[in-house]
A and B are shown apart, each in its own frame.
Chain A
Amino acid sequence: MKIKDIVLTVIFIILIGVISVFAWVKAPAEYSAGERRFLKEKPVLSSETVLNGEYMKDFEEYTVDQFPFRDDLRGVKALFSTYVLNKMDNNGLFAVDGHISKLEYPVNPDMMDNAAEKFDFLYEKFIKGKTDNVYLSVVPDKNIFFGEKGYLTIDYEKFIGDFREKVPYMKYIDIVPFLSSDDFYRTDSHWKQEEIRDIALYIAKEMGSDADAEYAVNTLDVPFRGVYLGQSALPFKADTIKYLTNDILSSLKVYYYDTGMKEEGEIYNMEKARGKDPYEMFLSGTTPLVEIENPNASSGKQLVVFRDSYGSSLVPLLVPAYEKISVVDIRYIQSNFVGNFVDFSDADVLFLYSTTLLNNSTALR
C-alpha cells in the first residue's frame, strides 16, 4: 500500500465530504450583489414536479446558485480561463486596456428592425406634424475602442449607417468622434458624466441650443462596482462615480412618473447612489418618465428625450438649454401611452440610444 494512495484518498474524502456537508447545510442566499440578480430558491418537492422533471432541473440550478464560496470559485474560473487557457473572453466578458467589457456581437438585424419599428410608431402617432426637430444620436458601446485589439466587434459605422436609413425622418447627431475609452467606466458599460460635457454641448448645439454651463465635480463616497465587475468575477478595482452640480441643477423641479404616480424628486437620487447599482443615481435609474422643469431657463424651448440608461447621465447636462425636458424610457412605459404624458408641439425630440440596446431591442415596448 502506497502512502500516496492513502493521502490522496483521505484528502479527497475530506474535501468532497466537507464541501458536501457545507452545501447541504448552508443557508441559501437571496441575492447576488456581484451578478446583480436574485438567486434560485430551493424548489418545491412534489410528485408532479418530480415526474415532469421540473424539480430536478430547478434543484440543479439551485445547487449551482447556492454553492458555498460561489463568488470566489467564479473568480478562480475566470482567472484560470484567462491566464491558464489564455482565453480572450470569459463568458463573453473580457479585460483589456484596464477595462472590463462584454462582447456585443454579432449584429442582430431583426433587433434593429424592431427598434426602428417602435420609433416609427412613436413618430407617426405622436410626433409627425407637431415638430420637425427630430434627432437621433447613437452611443457606441465601449468595444468600439477594442476591435483593434483583436476582439469581436460589430462594424459600428455600418451599424449606425444602416440604422439611420431605417429612420430617415431623424437628423443624425454623430457623437462618436468625441468619445474615447476613458469616457467610460472601467468596470461598467456606461459613460462617465464628467467626461461627456462636450457631447452634451455638441448635441444641444446641433439641436440649435446652447447648454453651456459651469459645473462643480463631486465624487460619490461609495465604490462603484460596475455591472461587468461582478459578472466577470475578475479581480478589478471598483470605479468611482463623479457627478456634476451647479445652481441650475439644484433649482430644478424634477417629477418622476412611476406606476402612474407623479412624484417630485431630485435630479440625482442619493439613496440609489448607495444602492445595488450606484449608476442609478442619475435620473433615478430605471424610470419610465421624468419631467424636468428649469425655472432659470429663458429659451422657452422644450425637449423630449427617448433614451436608454446612457441618457440618464447626459440629460442633466442638456438642462441649461431647455425650460422643460421630458425623458421617456419606452422599456418601462408602453409606447401607446406616451402621448398621455408628453406634449410634442414645437419641441425638440431626441432619440438617444446605445448600439447595445438597438442591437438587443426586445425590451422596447
Chain B
Amino acid sequence: MVFSSIPFLYYFLPVVLVLYFIAPRCLKNPVLLVSSLVFYGWGEPKYVFLMVLTVLQAYVFGLLIEKNRGKFLSRLYLVLSVLFCLAGLLFFKYADFFIGNFNAVTGLSLPFLRLALPIGISFYTFQILSYIVDVYRGGVPAQKNPVNLATYVALFPQLIAGPIVRYSDIEKQLVCRSHTFEKTAQGIKRFMIGFGKKIILANTLGGLCEGFLVSSDLSVLYYWLYAVSYMLQIYFDFSGYSDMAIGLGKILGFDFLENFNYPFISKSITEFWRRWHMSLGSWFRDYVYIPMGGNRANKGRWLFNIFTVWFLTGFWHGAEWNFILWGLYFGVLLVLEKFFFLDKLKKIRELSRVYTLFFTAISFMIFSGNNLEGAVRHVSGLFGAGNIPLVSQEFFYNLRNYGFTIIIGILGATPIPKVLWGKLSEKKNFKAVLDVLEVVLLVLLLVVCTAYLADGSFNPFLYFRF
C-alpha cells in the first residue's frame, strides 16, 4: 500500500488511527505492528514472512550479543545477523544482476530467478543492521520485547520508502511517547505538504518524464527539460514521501529525523549530500565509512573508503551498472572537491550553485537510464549526441504544458516560500490571517489531492527498486 492512494487515506488510515487512539498504552504498539503488517502485506503478502523472519533473527541475535558482550561469541552473533540480513537483500535484490554479469563474463546462460523485489527491503534491512550494530557497540540495549522491535522495523510510516530511522533515535519513543494536539497538527500539516508534493508536483512532472521516455521526437532542449523535470520529480516524490512519513510519525507520537533539507540550493556536491536523503548518507557514514577508518588513514586508504561507500550507495539504489556508475560519479566529484576546489567553491557563491545543479542534473540522467546504455544515452543526449536537433515539437509543447509546474517546483525546492511565510507570520497584522489561511490551504490541498486520486491520474510508485 502506498500513502498516495485512496485505500490508504480513506480506508486504512482512519481505521488504524481509531484503533490506535482507543487502545490502552500497552496495546498501542501491537496495534501499530498489526497495522504495519497489513500495510506491508497489502502489496507483498508473500514477503511479510520474510520481514518477520528478519526481525526475529535480529531480536534473538540482539539478545545473544548483549548476553555475550565482550566475548568472541558476541562478534560471531553480530556477523551471523549481518550475514542473514545481507543474504536476504543480496538474494532478492541482486541475484539476477550477478547472474546476468556472470553469464556475460563466462558466456554461460544460467537462468534468471526473476524474483519480485520485496518492497522496502533495502530500507528495513538497513534499519535492522543499524539496530544490531548499535547493540553490538553498546550504544543501545537489546530490545527485550519482540513486539517493540518488530514495531520499530515494520512501522508503516517509514517502512517502504524511509527515512531510514535508526533504532537509537526512537528507542525511548517505542516505550513512551506523547500525543498532543500540537504534535498532531504538526503531523497533519507535514503529511499534507508531503501529500501535495507527491500528488500534485511529482506525479504531474512524472507525466512529462513518462512521455519523454517513449518519445520519438527528441531534441537537446527536450533532454534538458527532462533532466530538470526528472530532478524535481524525484525530489518531490522522495521528499514528499519522507514528509508524509514524518507527519504520520508525529500523529502517532514519534519524532523521525529529517531526510531532506533543500538539496538543490547546495553550493557543492559535498553539501548536496548533506541535504539529500540524509538518513542514507549518515547511515553509510556511521556503519561503513567510519568503521573502515574514515579519513583517519593514509590517502590511499581514505580514497578506498570513499569509493567503497559511494559504490555501495549507488548499488543500494538499484541492481544495475548505471546505479553503480551514479554512485562512483559522486565519489569522484566528492574527492575532487575535497582535494582541489571545495574552498574555491565557497568563494564563488552563485556560480557554485550552478556548478552543483549542473553536475547533479548529469547524475540524475545517469540514474534515470535504468541501465548503463540508457545512462550513456541520456547523458550524451544533453549534449546533442546522435545528431538530434536543438528543439522539437514535443519540447515546445511540454515546455508550455509543464512550464508553470516546473516554475512552482523550482520555487518549492527552495526555502523561499517557507521564509516568506515565516516573515509574514512575524508581522502582527498578518499572524491571525495566516493562521486561518494555513488551515484553509491545507483543507484545499486535501480536496485537490483527493481529486487527483479519484481521477485515477498518473501515480507511479518509484520505490520498487529500493
Contact = CB atoms under 8 A, between A and B. Distances in A.
Contacts, number: 132
A67 B5 CA distance: 12
Residue of A5, A56, A86 with most chain B CB atoms under a 10 A cut-off: A5
B439 A4 contact: yes
B451 A87 contact: no
B363 to A, nearest CB: 27
Contacts of A51: 45-46
A69 B455 CA distance: 11
A76 B182 contact: no
B397 A19 contact: no
Contacts of A222: none
A227 to B, nearest CB: 17
Contacts of B402: 87
Residue of B6, B184, B402, B403 with most chain A CB atoms under a 10 A cut-off: B6
B interface majority secondary structure: helix
A12 interface: yes
B173 interface: no
A20 B14 contact: yes
B405 A85 contact: yes
Interface size class of B (residues with CB under 8 A): 35 or more
Interface stretch (B137-145, B293-301, B441-449): B441-449
A11 B439 contact: yes
Given A23-B11, A50-B45, A67-B6, A76 B400 contact: no
A interface majority secondary structure: helix
Given A80-B448, A87-B402, A152-B397, A8 B455 contact: no
A16 B13 contact: yes
A25 interface: no
A260 interface: no
Residue of A7, A8, A16 with most chain B CB atoms under a 10 A cut-off: A8
Contact of B43 (A6, A53, A89): A53
A88 interface: yes
B107 interface: no
B61 to A, nearest CB: 30
Contacts of B282: none
Interface in A77-127: 77-78, 80-81, 85-89, 91, 106
The 4 residue pairs across chains A and B that have the minimum distance between CB atoms:
A5-B185, A86-B404, A77-B451, A76-B451
Interface of A: 1-2, 4-9, 11-12, 15-17, 19-20, 23-24, 50-51, 53, 56, 59-60, 63-65, 67, 69-70, 73-74, 76-78, 80-81, 85-89, 91, 106, 150-152, 233
5 contacts: A8-B442, A23-B10, A60-B7, A67-B6, A86-B404
